[in-house]
Every structure is written in structure tokens, then in C-alpha cells.
Structure 1
Amino acid sequence: MEFTITQPAIQWFIKELDLSEGDNVRFFARVGGCSTVQSGYSLGISKEDPVEAGETFESDGITFFIENKDLWYFKDHDLKIKYSRKYDEISYDYTEQE
């Protein structure tokens, strides 16, 4: 799986989660909501340290990660997190791996 975050999205996370260098942000599967990759689940975020990171993306001194136990959620998909200036929010772009 490829896991990327655009620079505008990183700046959104820094502002919204009051992040600074050395912080960690976890993306995890949570029950409820909707997604295009897992019915009945959605992607949650929290500011916490990794236990067993399966995928990581580092930028601006911040580590964004997905724990090994949550990789099932992506089921053969890559994740690109982008920021929408129009809506002032992030979006998750899932693409099937080739």
C-alpha cells in the first residue's frame, strides 16, 4: 500500500490538531460512517504514538501512520490524503493497487 499526504493537507492537520515537530498522527479503521473501501467503517484520526506502525508518512517533523492491525481496512488500495480549499476540509482518495 502507498500512503501519501499532500502539503496543503499536512498544513490543515498541523492547524486543526495543533501539531508540532515530533508529534504523531494515527489513521485507523472505526466502526460507523461510510467509505468506498469498507462498508460500515470509516477512517478515524487521533494524535497518538505508534505501537506497531505498518505504514508511515513523515513531513515537517510529524509522523503520520497506520498501525499494522488497521491495514486490513485498505484492502489492496493506496491512500492519498488531500485538502480541498473549496470546502476547507481534507479528503481521502483511495485507488486500487495495480
Structure 2
Amino acid sequence: MKITITDLASKWFHDDMGVTTGNGVRFYGKTYGKTAVHSGFSIGIMRDDEPHQPIAMVEKDGVNYYVNDRDEWFFKGYDLTVDYDEQNDGPKYDYTPNNE
């Protein structure tokens, strides 16, 4: 799995979530909702500066963005691109199939 954070998404995380250099943001699967590839589940985000056995991690503008091993079920088979959605003033998520 690969995580990509766009420049606009990074700016949103810094401005709206208040993350700074050395902080972390964890992506995880949660019940209820819907994504482009999941029904009954949606993606969650939380500030978490201490990754626990990450399966994917990328550093962007000093912040570590990652997925822990316990959420592999949600992301298995996909790469994640996080961008900024101007209309909703928040992140948007694109899932790209990979060869996992």
C-alpha cells in the first residue's frame, strides 16, 4: 500500500487539524458510511503521533501519515491518495487498485 498526500491536503491538515512537524495522522476504517470501494464502512482520520506497526507511512511537510496493521483489512488491495475537496472544505480520498 502506498499513501500520497497532495500539497493542498497537507495544507488542510496543518491549518484545520493543527498538525506540525513531528506530528502524525492515522487513517483507519470505521463502520457506517460509504467509500468508492466500501459499502457500510468509511475512512476515519485522527491525530496520532505514535504509529503502531504501520503497514504504510509517508512523511509530508514534517507530518507522518500512516495506516496501522490493524486497519489493513480496510486498505488491502488499494493505494490511497488524499487530496483537498474545496466544495466540502476537507479531505477527499481516492483509492487506486494495486497488486497486493
Question: After TM superposition, is the score higher than 0.5?
Answer: yes
1:72 counterpart residue number: 73
In 2, Cα distance between equivalents of 1:59 and 1:19: 11
Structure 2 match to 1:62: 63
User: Any conservation in 1 of the 2:52–2:68 contact (CA below 8 Å)?
Assistant: yes
Gaps of 5+ in 2: none
Q: How many matched pairs?
A: 98
CA RMSD of aligned residues (A): 1.3
Q: Which moved more, 1:77-86 or 1:27-36?
A: 77-86
2-structure distance, mates of 1:15, 1:70: 26
The alpha-carbon deviation at position 69 of structure 1 amounts to 1.3
Instruction: State the AA in 1 paired with 2:55.
Output: G
Q: Does 1:12 align with 2:16?
A: no
Aligned to 2:45: 45
SS at match of 2:18: coil
Structure 2 Cα separation of the partners of residues 24 and 62 of structure 1: 5
Look up the equivalent residue of 1:35 and give its one-letter code.
Answer: T
In 2, are the aligned partners of 1:50 and 1:65 still within 8 Å (CA)? yes
Q: For residue 85 of structure 1, report the CA deviation from its aligned partner.
A: 2.9
Q: Give, as a single letter, the amino acid of the residue that structure 1 aligns with 2:77.
A: D
Letter in 2 for 1:78: D
- Mapped partners of 2:77, 2:20: distance in 1: 32
Tell me, in whole angstroms, the C-alpha distance in 2 between the residues paired with 1:50 and 1:44: 15
Which consecutive residues of structure 1, in runs of 5 or more, have no partner in the other structure?
none
TM-superposed CA distance for 1:86, in Å, is 4.0
- Matched AA of 2:15: K
Task: Report which of the two has the higher share of strand.
Answer: 2
